[in-house]
Amino acid sequence: MPKQFQFKDDARSQLMEGIDLMARTVGITLGPNGRNVILEKEFGPPQVCSDGVTIAKEIELPEPFLNMGAQLLKEAASKTNDDVGDGTTTSTILAQAILKNGFKNIAAGADPMALKRGIDQAVDVMTKELISMSKEVTGDDQISQVAILSAHDEKMGELIGQVMSKIGKDGVVTVEESRGLDYEIEYVEGMEIDRGYLSPYFVTDQDRMVTELDEPYILITSEKITNIEEIIPFLEKFNAIGRELVLIAEDIEEQALATLVVNKMKGTLNCLGVKAPAFGDRRKAILEDMSILFGGTVISEETGRKLDSVEISDLGRCRRVISTKDSTTFVEGGGDSDLIEARVGNIKSQAQETKSDYDKEKLQERLA
C-alpha cells in the first residue's frame, strides 16, 4: 500500500483533528452526569455504552492522518484500562490536553525534547501529589458507591459492594450470565480446581452426586498412576491410619483406578481420585501451590521422587474436600502460614511483572 506523507504544521493539525474527534466522543461519558454513546455493530443491534475504552476501541476514521491521531488516544485509554481497569475517559481527556498544548508550543518554536522532559517532571510531581491526596476505600458503603457509579445501577452496585467486602481485595470474581431474571451470588471458600472426581463410584452423596470428605489426607503427584503396584507400599501404611485419602495426579489409568474404586466400594479405603488441573508449567506451579497450602510434598520424578517412595509425611491436609463431576474444592488447607504468605507474595510479584493479560488473570486466580 502506497504511503502518504505530511510534515510539521500540516501533520500536527491533522493529527490534532483526529485527537479532538476521539476526545469529544469519549469525553461526553465523563463523570456522574456523563451521557451514553450509541455504537453501530456490524452484527446485531446497536450498543449503548458509557465506557471510555469500549467506545475508543470502536472508533476507526477513514482519513489516515486523522485516524492516527485517534489511535494515539485509543492507546492511552487501553493502557490505563490494562493497568487499573478504570479511568479511561479521564486518561483520554488528559492526553488530548497534553498533546494540544504540546503542539501549540512546538509551533511557537519550543524544543520538543525539552517539552517532553518538562512533561515528565510535571507527571512525577502530580503523581506524588495525587498519591498523598488519595484515600483507601475500606468501608462497604464506599465500595458500593464506587460500584454504583461504574455500573450505573444501584442494585448491581450494592451487590458488588457486598461481594467485595466478603472476598477482600485478593479474591477473584467470576461473572456469568444468569439463567433467570434475578442476580445470584455463589461464594467458594478455599481452593477450587476445574477438575472433578475421576469416577462416579467415588460419590458419597448419590442424591447430589457429590463426594465429601472430612479432614482427608492429600497425595499430590505430577506423575501418572498407571500401575497400582507403585503405590501399594504406601496404601498399606496409610490403611493403618484409617483416614480418608485424596489422590491428585496427572492421571489415574484404568487398572489403578479400578483398584481404588473396588477398595472404596468394599469400605477398605475411603478415597477420591482427581486429575491435576491445567497443563505444562502452569500445572507444576499449581501443584506447588497446593503442596504449600496443604502442607504436603509434590511427588515428582523431576525432583527424584517416585510413587513407590511416598511416605505419610509427604501428605497434605485440609478440613474438607467437596468434589463434583466438574470441580473440586478444598477448604482450610493445613499448610504453614508463613510459607503460604511467602507464596502469596511471590505470585503477587509475578502478576505485577507480567505483560500478558492471560497470565495476569491466571496468576490472580492462583492468588485467590
Residues 24-58: tens digit of each pLDDT = 999 998 877 888 899 988 888 998 988 888 898 88
What is the pTM (predicted TM-score) of this model? 0.61
Measured CA to CA, the distance from residue 156 to residue 184 in angstroms comes to 11
Q: Is residue 184 domain-resident?
A: no
Domain boundary among 117, 133, 149: 133
The answer to whether residues 348 and 294 touch, using CB atoms and an 8 Å cutoff, is no
| 109 and 230 inside one domain | no
Q: Is residue 232 domain-resident?
A: yes
For cell 517412595, the residue is 309
| 221 and 104 inside one domain | no
Which domain, by its residues, includes 23? 8-133
| 127 and 235 inside one domain | no
| 153 and 101 inside one domain | no
The answer to whether residues 340 and 368 touch, using CB atoms and an 8 Å cutoff, is no
| 212 and 255 inside one domain | yes
| 129 and 139 inside one domain | no
Residues 282-341: tens digit of each pLDDT = 999 999 999 999 999 999 999 899 999 999 999 999 999 999 999 999 988 999 989 988
Q: Is residue 101 domain-resident?
A: yes
Measured CA to CA, the distance from residue 149 to residue 163 in angstroms comes to 16
| 196 and 94 inside one domain | no
Which has more pLDDT, 1 or 24? 24
| 76 and 12 inside one domain | yes
CATH number at residue 50: 1.10.560.10
DSSP string, 319-367: EEEEE-SS-EEEEEE-S-HHHHHHHHHHHHHHHHH---HHHHHHHHHHH
For the residues 80-94, what does the mean pLDDT come to?
86
The candidate with the shortest Cα–Cα distance to 270, out of 323, 337, 348, is 323
| 331 and 211 inside one domain | yes
| 259 and 324 inside one domain | yes
Q: Is residue 161 domain-resident?
A: yes
Which helix (H) or strand (E) segment holds residue 165: the answer is helix 154-167
| 219 and 317 inside one domain | yes
Q: Is residue 352 domain-resident?
A: no
For the residues 239-257, what does the mean pLDDT come to?
94
Please, which pLDDT band fits residue 355 given cuts at 50, 70 and 90?
confident
Residues 69-81: tens digit of each pLDDT = 999 999 988 888 8
Q: Is residue 357 domain-resident?
A: no
Q: Are strands 316-323 and 47-49 parallel, antiparallel or unpaired?
A: unpaired
| 26 and 56 inside one domain | yes
Q: Is residue 363 domain-resident?
A: no
Please, which pLDDT band fits residue 1 given cuts at 50, 70 and 90?
low
> For the chain, how big is the Rg over CA atoms in Å?
28
The answer to whether residues 248 and 218 touch, using CB atoms and an 8 Å cutoff, is yes
**Helix, strand or coil, per DSSP, at residue 203:** coil
User: How many structural domains are present in the chain?
Assistant: 3
Q: Which amino acid is at 140?
A: D
Q: Is residue 100 domain-resident?
A: yes
Residue 36 per-residue DSSP state: P
Residue 252 per-residue DSSP state: E
